């Protein structure tokens, strides 16, 4: 059985904070003693723990409801931690993962970190190091969620553009002048200006640099083949 160093600097949740407001820390470990110890430690630091005895248990019950991170055991029967990480990342999920293992080695650590893990800790787990890692992971999760929300918003705005407006936008953000866009699309420069204005309005872009950043997030240059 692995022991945990008792937390000495964990922040406690205020009585006014509801469980629904707490970032969730998913704990996936087949050792019940580890899960129970981590549950107490995580809750004392103001996070909401959710415990799973296996990777498949996690996959069957997990819901992505807000800022979160995962404390994931590498070595588990059946579907291992690295396998679960690979499944999540291949599905587009970017939830920060903190790996823990009693048998960590350099190749395993490198593989986990290359796969996107934000930390790798060995058992017995240092509670101070774990809480630091969790706080960092939760902050990273909040940033990821804001980025995903912004991308969704941009995709909706881009979806509202007409075909011609999209053709104008992708050329404008590559640096073409209005007359060059007009030549490429075989339309008048006045028409290009009108479409450009509509693009700026629908995309909620205040300046051309704003529009260029939006196009980069949407991957428009790569998809269009324009340079």
pLDDT tens readout for residues 162-187: 999 999 999 999 999 999 999 999 99
Q: Is the pLDDT of residue 106 over 60?
A: no
> What's the whole-model pTM score?
0.73
CB burial readout 36-67, b (16+ within 10 A) else e? ebbbebbbbbbbbbbbbbbbeebeeebeeeeb
120: phi then psi, degrees, rounded to nearest 5: -140, 115
* Chain segment 194-227, per-residue pLDDT in tens: 999 999 999 999 999 999 999 999 998 655 555 4
Contact by Cβ (8 Å): 195, 164? yes
Dihedral angle sign, alpha carbons of residues 128, 134, 137, 143? negative
Distance between CA 46 and CA 20 in Å, rounded? 12
Does residue 69 contact residue 143 with C-beta atoms inside 8 Å? no
For residues 28 and 5, what is the distance between their CA atoms, to the nearest angstrom? 19
């Amino acid at each position: 059985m692995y022991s945990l160093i008792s937390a000495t600097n964990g922040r406690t949740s205020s009585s006014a904070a509801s469980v629904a407001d707490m970032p969730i820390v998913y704990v996936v470990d087949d050792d019940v003693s580890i899960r129970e110890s981590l549950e107490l430690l995580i809750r004392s630091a103001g996070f909401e723990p959710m415990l799973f005895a296996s990777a498949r248990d996690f996959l069957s019950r997990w819901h992505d409801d807000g800022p979160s991170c995962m404390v994931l055991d590498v070595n588990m029967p059946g579907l291992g931690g690295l396998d679960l990480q690979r499944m999540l990342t291949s599905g587009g999920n970017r939830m920060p993962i903190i790996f823990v293992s009693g048998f960590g080695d350099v190749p395993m650590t490198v593989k986990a970190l290359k796969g996107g893990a934000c930390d790798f800790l060995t058992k017995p787990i240092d509670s101070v190091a774990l809480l630091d890692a969790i706080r960092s992971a939760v902050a990273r999760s909040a940033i990821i969620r804001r980025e995903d929300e912004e991308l969704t918003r941009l995709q909706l705005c881009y979806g509202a553009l007409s075909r011609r407006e999209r053709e104008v936008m992708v050329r404008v953000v590559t640096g073409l002048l209005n007359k060059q866009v007009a030549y490429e699309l075989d339309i008048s420069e006045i028409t290009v200006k009108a479409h450009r204005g509509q693009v700026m309005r629908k995309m909620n872009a205040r300046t051309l640099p704003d529009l260029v950043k939006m196009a980069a997030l949407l991957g428009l240059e790569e998809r269009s083949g324009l340079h």
